[in-house]
Amino acid sequence: MVVKSGGGGGGAEEGAAGAAVRRWVEAGGGRLVLDGGLATELEAHGADLNDPLWSAKCILSSPHLIRKVHLDYIEAGANIIITASYQATIQGFESKGFSKEQGENLLTKSVEIAHEAREMFLKQHPDQSTPLRPILVAASIGSYGAYLADGSEYSGDYGEAGTLEFLKDFHRRRLQVLAEARPDLIAFETIPNKLEAQAYVELLEECNINIPSWFSFNSKDGVNVVSGDSLIECAKIANECAKVGAVGINCTPPRFIHSLILSIRKVTDKPILIYPNSGERYDAERKEWVESTGVSDGDFVSYVSEWCKDGAALIGGCCRTTPNTIRAISRSLNQYYPAP
């Protein structure tokens, strides 16, 4: 069974990006499994992420830990692993005293680490190297708010920096460097507002990026993105770009996903991806997750069949989810899409 994730969408032609993502979904038997929280696992392995670079700090200090977490997620059943570059920016590395060239090299390294993890897995499990189990690397691009490390990726309020040209200038070289590192996908994650989505679309065209991309937005009400912009309008921007191969939601409580998928389906026929957080509440001032505000792995996975019926074709987890979460998602999807 293969999911056609659209409903009443339309607009731009699917393009090579959409076709590539759809081929991967079909190769996976109708669904792909994304990985889970990277920072959560890095901290579980002893990494101190109390730093504006967050998980990107480990590109500098503990690349072996990143590699291990990637490998753990592949072994848990993930088809797509997302690099540690979400909060990695040239500007952020420069603020730590690195040169622009050194910052670019660290961005490249984030993709290389993920490639190494994939190669290690395939060397250890040669029987897993089949067309029915694509294992892909997605280079993560977090929002401008993620660079600020002040919680504004959960509000989309950038103040005076909230102009189209400023955001394009901020992201341009980072996008080029990550594309040059040859990931399979580029993941624009936790997009909080319509303006940044438009900046990404224009950069993909202006920089002539030919690697399939996905856009994932975040919401705290199940209707709009976190800035208050209409999710439907945001999804339309992604749909109209032929270089965007999938559209969806990340870092959002599981209870909101059903209604958000239905909204996205109104405006796109592209594959839909969803990777919610655990449902826990994030305290931006204290920079920590509030314990006991989320759902258990069992409760999280109980939503999976509903999300599949809604039209999601790529499913995983975001903050505070673990390899155990992804393993449970993979099992659930294997039941929903039994092997031929």
The answer to whether 207 is annotated as binding is no
Contacts (Cβ under 8 Å, ≥6 apart) of 112: 181
The answer to whether 318 is annotated as binding is yes
Distance of alpha carbon 269 from alpha carbon 238, whole angstroms: 11
Distance of alpha carbon 333 from alpha carbon 305, whole angstroms: 8
Distance of alpha carbon 173 from alpha carbon 80, whole angstroms: 24
SS3 151: coil
Distance of alpha carbon 21 from alpha carbon 30, whole angstroms: 11
SS3 213: strand
Distance of alpha carbon 81 from alpha carbon 255, whole angstroms: 24
Residue 236's closest CA among 264, 257, 205? 264
Ramachandran region, residue 287 (left: φ > 0; alpha: ψ -120 to 50; beta: rest):
left
The answer to whether 319 is annotated as binding is yes
**Taking a C-beta distance cutoff of 8 angstroms, is the pair 214, 250 a contact?**
no
Residue 79's closest CA among 108, 36, 112? 36
Which pair of structure tokens corresponds to residue 62? Answer: 């503990």
Annotated binding site for Zn(2+): 251, 318-319
Annotated binding site: 251, 318-319
